Amino acid sequence: MHSCTLRKVLVFVLALMFLAAARQASAELLFFAGDRSMSVKSHRFEGDQIVVSLRGGGEMTLDRSTIIRISPDEVPYDDEQAVSAAGTTVPEMPGRLIERTAYEPLIQQASVTHGVPVNLVKAIIQTESAYQPRARSPKGAMGLMQLMPKTARQYNARNAYDPRANIEAGVSYLRTLLDQFELPLAIAAYNAGEGAVRRFGGIPPFPETQAYVAKVQALTGSLVLP
């Protein structure tokens, strides 16, 4: 009786260990110039480019020459982990605009539909979520373009983690802001809210918002609105 019980306990423990291992996945670290690094699921080379699978889902294409080295990421993570866009689990993107990702058709379609420059949409996504569709901030912002629940409802994004719905709603909201404010203020409003921009009569004096506007503008460069 004791032996049978012991075997059941061992089987149960092994099963738990197997499930825990199954939830964790290996990862890789990409190293860029300037001591920057980025944790990804995996990579593959396509000519002069490298296509990386992001930990939060989706792919991103980079110039092969921008990568100094690739090594295993020894830190395990859960596949179902909800990644915070304001936390340390979002990988630091290179300091230039990522031109091509798996979401290119969705971005192009939404940009044309709403008359928003493609590079602005890409810069917002890169800054907000690092192209991780499952990103979630401590304040509840969701998905690629970090939609707050109220914004998601307002722009009919029933599933804010669905890339198509998220990008469509985010770009539509961005169009609304561009219709009200000049470009820098529209970017600030996307981060801090329309009310804050109006209350301060310009970019709010919040370090986070000021850094956000500077980063988006640096990624877009000289941008002329249609």
Return the active site residues. Answer: 128
Centroid of chain to Cα 94? 13
33-67 burial, b at 16+ Cβ within 10 Å, e below that, comes to eeeeebbbbebeeeeeebbbbbbbbbbbbbeeeeb
- Residue 169: closest CA among 187, 153, 155: 155
**d(Cα 93, Cα 33) in Å, to the nearest integer?**
12
Measured in degrees and rounded to the nearest 5, phi and psi for residue 94 equal: -60, 155
Would you say 216 and 123 are in contact if contact means Cβ atoms under 8 Å apart? yes
d(CA 139, CA 197): 19
Provide φ and ψ at 197, rounded to 5°.
-65, -45
Helix, strand or coil for residue 71?
strand
